[in-house]
Amino acid sequence: MSVWSLHDMAPGFADSTAQSQGVFRSALDAMARPGTPVRLPQTALVSPTPNTNAVAASVLLALLDQDCTLWLSPGLAAGPASAWLRFHTGCRLETDCSKADFVWAASIAELPPLRQLQQGSAEYPDQSATCVVDVAAWRTAAVSDAGAVTLRGPGVRDAITLAVDGMDAAFVQQHQSMCAHAPCGVDILCCADDALLGFPRSVRLAAANGGPACT
């Protein structure tokens, strides 16, 4: 279990059933309402270290089990997160991102190209990767703001425009290419402070200052 010993292992949920169910419902809510922040209660936030994104860690603690494979971006893989999640969930670590059920990236920049991740199939679109990504922050933005993205699609009333840390034009292009193959694609949960922001595969992204949306 790497160099991290059981003596050093941070605890998981104090009430594993209630807290994991609550976090799971929050993740579902974030996916059902793309672009709308969903806050997790402070009592449900746990992490392997004080410097680890507690929202991301709590979400994965709720979603993973012994049948799941997890890929971690290099910085996370080198720290205690891998041993902590293996200990508390029984998940298996995967070094090939294309074979992972879940991906945890320390930033959008450390997220593998979306096309390399499991996309599911027309028959089984649910057999695709779920990405949990640490971000510094997000904010509601105007369509004229540089770097802002506009979301449209199921669960979004009209449109939502946001500026999300690290979500640049290159990422929007990747997402547009992916959603051209709907219903296949990956689901993404961005995590910051005490909240989740969902980007399900069904959402359509466009650069707010005039870039095309995928259809």
- Specify if 65 maps to a domain: yes
- Paired residues of 128 in beta bridges: 119
At 1, the amino acid letter reads M
Q: Determine how many CB atoms are found less than 10 A away from the CB of residue 194.
A: 16
- Structural domain count of the chain: 1
* Residue 110 pLDDT exceeds 50: yes
Model confidence over 150-186: pLDDT tens digits? 999 999 999 999 999 999 999 999 999 998 898 999 9
Residues 6 or more apart from 153 whose CB is under 8 A from it? 34, 202, 203, 204
Is 160 within the bounds of a domain? Answer: no
The answer as to whether 77 is a domain residue is yes
Taking Cα atoms as reference points, which of 174, 182, 188, 173 lies closest to residue 202? 182
Task: Note the pLDDT tens digit of each residue in 26-81.
Answer: 999 999 999 999 999 999 999 999 999 999 999 999 999 999 999 999 989 999 99
Range of the domain at 72: 6-135+188-203
Is there a contact between 36 and 195 (Cβ–Cβ < 8 Å)? Answer: no
Question: Do 35 and 156 contact (CB within 8 A), yes or no?
Answer: yes
Say what the pLDDT of residue 6 is: 61
On whether residue 34 sits in a domain, the answer given is yes
Q: For position 192, which CATH number holds?
A: 3.40.50.11310
